[in-house]
Amino acid sequence: MDNILLTYVIPLYNTEAYVLRCLQSVVDQGLGDDDYEVIVVDDGSTDGGRALVEAFAREYPQVRLLSQANAGVSAARNLAIDNARGLYLQFVDSDDYLPSGVMAPLLQRALDERLDVLQFNYKSVDMAGNALPVARDDNYASTAVLAGADYLATHCMTPYVWRFLLRRDYINDNGWRFDSSLIVCEDGALIARFLLNAPRVAHDDTLAYCYVNRSDSAMHNPDPGHLRRRILSQVDAAASINATISDYEQQAAGRQAPPSVAGVRNVYLYFAMTKALTCGCVDEVLQRIRQAGLFPFPCVGPEANYYGSKWKLIHFLMMRPALWRCLSWLYRAIKKN
């Protein structure tokens, strides 16, 4: 396996019920046995998922299982990148899966066109695999090869790392890794870097990923401490994207970064402040935003694929912290009763 073309990166944490479907989907992609590898990183799972992967790996020698003490999805992905041998990387969450046979032609296109980044389409499904309606359309027709900034000028910046094939040397040569201090939105912070700076990017309209919407996922964890960390992580991710924008504009001789990058930053801030209202930590979150130099709030809009009067109203309210605190108190008083 000296000429591996693709490395699948799969973090594993307590997804016993889903991981075999995920693994079977990645080995059913029409690639030769010597063309790919699968690196599963057990992030300190406490269920039976690890044993299932071990049994699967005995049948498929392309699968390697690495382990670490629980450190989060970013650290798990970074460990896999450090051990990857493929020309390209494809990130797959262990509760999601791929439609059969889609990656072989996508990989061939990436190789033929010498792409640094290839983005593809996806669908959201429920836990049984039934397609779910989408709130907005993030799918596009196939494109020719563009520089990253030019690509982002006509496409929204998607904040999901599993929507891309990435050339491994492009990531490694720049020393880029996921920020392990972020427990959410770590995707967007890294994507802003590799998309904005990529020499060769293309989009393929193939539907190549099934995102499973789980009500029991970490994103839906109601624990107040976890929710607080999630909110602060969103703010920190927004600050990281803001720094990436500044770095790009300094190096690009005055050229502004495409608005779609700032759009993701803005959405992170809006969602953080909205969640802060519901859990009563408005002052702490606002202080974090001020420290990052992101107050007054930039107004979210079409650059993030968000439209309408609702966002203008939210912006009006968030620009008045005293009013936002009152709304937080009122919301929690109503919920308590």
pLDDT tops 60 at residue 135: no
pLDDT tops 80 at residue 314: yes
* β-pair type (201-212, 88-91): unpaired
Instruction: Return the number of other C-beta atoms located less than 10 Å from residue 293's C-beta.
Output: 10
Domains of the chain by residue range: 6-218, 222-336
Q: Which residue has the higher pLDDT, 142 or 191?
A: 191
pLDDT tops 70 at residue 1: no
pLDDT tops 60 at residue 219: no
Give the pLDDT confidence score for residue 305 in this predicted structure: 66
How distant, in Å, are the alpha carbons of 121, 144, 202, 205 from that of 141? 9, 10, 10, 5
Fold of the domain built from segment(s) 6-218: Spore Coat Polysaccharide Biosynthesis Protein SpsA; Chain A (3.90.550)
**pTM for the full model?**
0.93
Q: How confident is the model at residue 152 (pLDDT cuts 50, 70, 90)?
A: very high
Amino acid letter, residue 147? A
DSSP string, 167-226: EHHHHHHTT----TT-SSSHHHHHHHHHHHH-SSEEEEEEEEEEEE--TTSGGG---HHH
What percent of the chain is modeled with pLDDT above 70? 94
pLDDT digits (tens, 9 = 90+) for 275-311: 999 999 999 999 999 999 999 988 777 666 666 787 7
Pair of tokens at residue 264: 């993701």
Give the pLDDT confidence score for residue 128 in this predicted structure: 82
pLDDT tops 60 at residue 140: yes
